[in-house]
Amino acid sequence: MNAIFLAMPSAISQGVLWGIMVLGIFITYKILDIADLTVDGSFALGGCVCAMLIVQNGWNPWLALLMAAVAGMLAGAVTGILHTVFEIPAILAGILTQISLWSVNLKIMGQSNVPLLNSDTIFTGLVNAMGLKQSNAALIIGIVIAIILIVVLYWFFGTELGSALRATGNNIDMIRALGVNTKVMKVLALMLSNALVGLSGGLVCQSQKYADINMGTGAIVIGLAAIVIGDVLFGRLRSFGSKLTSAVLGSVVYFIIRAIVLQLGMDANYMKLLSAIIVALALSVPVVVQKVKAKKAYSAEGGAK
């Protein structure tokens, strides 16, 4: 039991940092109804770019973090162009970009992983100034960044441009009839989404003190699991701001569950399987319940006659 409590700070901090990636997935999955598989590659891209700028070029870690977001944005633009200009289905466009990014990331780093053990990160100043553990510093800075991003996203999606983007996902025929270029909206959404994913990759890279070519593997499943968990736990909250917050909180809950399961002795190799099961159950159970209710209602009507 003590081991579980000791693992909680690290799990919560990782949940917050990955939660920023979940915000990106929320934009494509919940607003555009697209499961964008680019994120597996753009998450690692953000980490790789951030690591190389810090280690080889001596960049300020905050500037490196910004470039990680820009790199993710460019990856999203590629997927958007493949989907809208060349009319490749969104899921296939994401797969193509994701596969390409594996080679791009390897080219950027020149090797499979790059350590940051001797380099300063955005967490170093807080660790040195207050004597905090790395996980605690990551938690504090991660919460601040997450709050800022939620506020900015809430504001953006309340603007005319943001409302048009949301309307593209809700009713594409209607918003197209109003003269909005829905292709531009889709590209914009994919760029914004993957910018957040790349930013999250840079944060996780600096938190764990290394970047790895495979650090984004399964990111889409983790993101979907976090969104589903957030919907289940906080589904009654209807405002857009609360939905953004629930996405991050869902990520925190997911990593807490993962930490508990690992501490109870589960093989870490089965974590991806557990994530897939969580997503499959959360998506299928409501459908089964709805079908059962419909069947009962139909039977009741037949009996009444």
- Binning pLDDT at 50, 70 and 90, where does residue 287 land? confident
Quote the pTM value. Answer: 0.93
pLDDT at 259 over 90: no
Q: How far apart are CA 65 and CA 49, in angstroms?
A: 9
- Helix H or strand E encompassing 245: helix 240-263
Q: Which letter does DSSP use for residue 96 in this model?
A: H
Q: How far apart are CA 139 and CA 251, in angstroms?
A: 13
Q: How far apart are CA 258 and CA 266, in angstroms?
A: 9
CA-to-CA dists, residue 60 to 31, 116, 157, 168, 260, angstroms: 34, 13, 31, 38, 35
Mind listing the domains of the chain with CATH numbers? 2-270 (1.10.3470)
- Binning pLDDT at 50, 70 and 90, where does residue 261 land? confident
- Write out pLDDT tens, residues 161-194: 999 999 999 999 999 998 999 999 999 999 999 9
Q: Which pLDDT score, from 0 to 100, does residue 140 have? A: 94
- Write out pLDDT tens, residues 1-46: 566 676 788 899 999 999 999 999 999 999 998 889 999 999 999 9
Q: How many residues does the chain have?
A: 305
Q: Count CB-CB contacts under 10 A for residue 9.
A: 16
